[in-house]
Amino acid sequence: MLEGFFMRKSYLRGMKIREIIQELERIAPPMLQESYDNSGLIVGHSDWETDGVLVALDCLEDVVDEAIQKGIHLVVTHHPIVFSGLKRFNGKSYIERVVMKAIKHDVALYAIHTNLDNVAWGVNAKIMEVLDIYSHQVLSPMKNALKKFQVYVPSNSALTLANAVYAAGGGKVSLYEECSFTTAGTGTFKPTVGTNPVVGNVGTRETVQEVKMEFLVPNFAQRAVERSARNAHPYEEMAYEWLSLENTATVYGAGAVGSLDEPMEFEAFLAHCKSAFGTTLKYTAPVGSHVKKVAVCGGSGSFLLGAAKASGADVFITADYKYHQFFDAENDISILDVGHFESEQFTIDLIAEGLSKKFPKFAVLKTEVNTNPIQYY
């Protein structure tokens, strides 16, 4: 795969880091990250230029060295190198050494972590793809993640306003885009002293044919949608409303659940997972002779065991299970711990593929460094 990159004759050079970040944050908006997380640009400036991107799961000194050697000024990782504040930079910890080296050599560090976990096309979708499960959905959808935007606009400006809302991230229903509902009606208003009306005259009541347009908007896009709508709206004052919704956001949330095309014997499924993840497996007893429905969560996923059981899954694949937590399976489901690095190793491909698709002539490289701190004997 890397040879294919190096054999290309024409790379885009000197791309602004900002452009790459914009694509990453389109794929996984930062506001979807968990409260404890530190996704985003950790080191560097978005105005810097880079001739390529180096993608890794973790940012270690060897990864920064690799970027320096290859003349790359942006490293994108899944895990943030910094989770909390650093008080000293004297090189006593690997975190401090990584940050110091990156700053010294003008290497920007960007993390796309739990926000990439929390989208239907993210980390868990990639795991499902590796397991040959192509029909799946979010295991634990986000609640209170949607709002309805209602705005009133002259009929002849409706398309312009709708396009502005869509461009800002509104009008999404599950995996459908550019969704709206429009109701025609009559609007009235009387401009008063101090106004500058687009239609009508000060002191005179005006009647205008308008439409009410309704859009579903993810919480993280609310401000952008309102700002974009204001810029596109022809009136001096835009009449609008935001309504809170109880609908779940089916494409945002944790984990994934789906079904194999055909049931597999439990032992055969274990062999399938061992091959897919390339590791030894820890698991609890099967609940049946065959596996059909599978739940997954990349990384530490024990918090989703209840959701996995409720989904009717036969197996829950995740990582970082402690001894006593395995008892929580209670013969309702088989827990399969494949290891943290192993469960998320495909995230490197996920990020690299997404950036390569957007920037086909830009050097998107996958690290050659194995960042897994665990070795097996």
3-state secondary structure 213-261: EEEEEEHHHHHHHHHHHHHHCCCCCCEEEEEECCCCEEEEEEEEEEEEE
Q: What pLDDT is recorded for position 169?
A: 93
Q: 176-194 in b/e burial notation, b at 16+ Cβ within 10 A?
A: eeeebeeeeeebebebeee
The identity of residue 345, as a single letter, is Q
Q: What pLDDT is recorded for position 29?
A: 94
Nearest residue to 110 (alpha-carbon basis) of 5, 33, 167, 205: 33
Q: What pLDDT is recorded for position 139?
A: 98
Compute CA distances 25 → 102, 111, 197, 294, 340, whole Å.
22, 11, 38, 29, 24
**Where is 141: in which H helix or E strand?**
strand 136-142
Stretches in the chain below the pLDDT threshold 50: 1-10
The identity of residue 356, as a single letter, is S
Q: What pLDDT is recorded for position 1?
A: 34
Quickly count helices (H) and strands (E) in the chain.
12, 17
| Domain ranges, ordered by start, for the chain | 2-115+346-366, 123-139+254-338, 146-247
Q: What pLDDT is recorded for position 12?
A: 54
Q: What pLDDT is recorded for position 84?
A: 86
Angle at 63 between CA 62 and CA 65, to 5 degrees: 65
What is the torsional sign of CA 315, 37, 173, 144?
Answer: positive
- CA–CA separation, 290 and 62 (whole Å): 43
Q: In CATH, which of 3.30.70.120, 3.40.50.300, 3.30.460.80, 3.30.2320.80 is domain 146-247?
A: 3.30.70.120
Fold of the domain built from segment(s) 123-139+254-338: 3.40.1390
Cβ contact 182:165 at 8 Å? no
- Specify the pTM: 0.88
Q: What pLDDT is recorded for position 313?
A: 98
- CA–CA separation, 147 and 220 (whole Å): 10
Share of the chain above pLDDT 90, in %: 87
Helix (H, G, I), strand (E, B) or coil at 5: helix
Compute CA distances 279 → 125, 126, 129, 264, whole Å.
20, 17, 18, 20
* Location of structure tokens 């793809």: 129
Q: What pLDDT is recorded for position 7?
A: 35
Cβ contact 263:290 at 8 Å? yes
The identity of residue 108, as a single letter, is A
CATH class of 2-115+346-366: alpha beta
Q: pLDDT digits over 106-137, tens only?
A: 999 999 999 999 999 999 999 999 999 999 99
Mean pLDDT of the chain: 94
DSSP bridge pairs for 335: 316
- CA–CA separation, 221 and 99 (whole Å): 31
Judge if 2-115+346-366 and 123-139+254-338 fold alike in CATH terms: yes
Supply 87's token pair: 């008080």
